[in-house]
Amino acid sequence: MPLPRSCFRSSREDFGEGEALGLDFEAEKVDVGCELIDKVRGLVEMEEGLGD
């Protein structure tokens, strides 16, 4: 089940450079979480391909 691509927007796109650092920090954490999920999904897909 693919994640929405909005997951990969940068914090600057979401909040603009003038916004509070707290919001910027939250967006960065979301980006990192999505990156990890994407890597794990890639590994799972590779293993499924090898199992065929």
pLDDT attached to residue 50 = 77
Return the domain boundaries, the chain: 5-51
- CA 52: distance to chain centroid? 28
Backbone angles phi, psi at 36, to 5 degrees: -65, -45
Q: What does pLDDT average to in each consecutive run of 10 residues of the chain (52 residues)?
A: 50 49 58 77 83 61
pLDDT attached to residue 8 = 47
pLDDT attached to residue 42 = 85
pLDDT attached to residue 11 = 45
H or E, element range at 39: helix 21-51
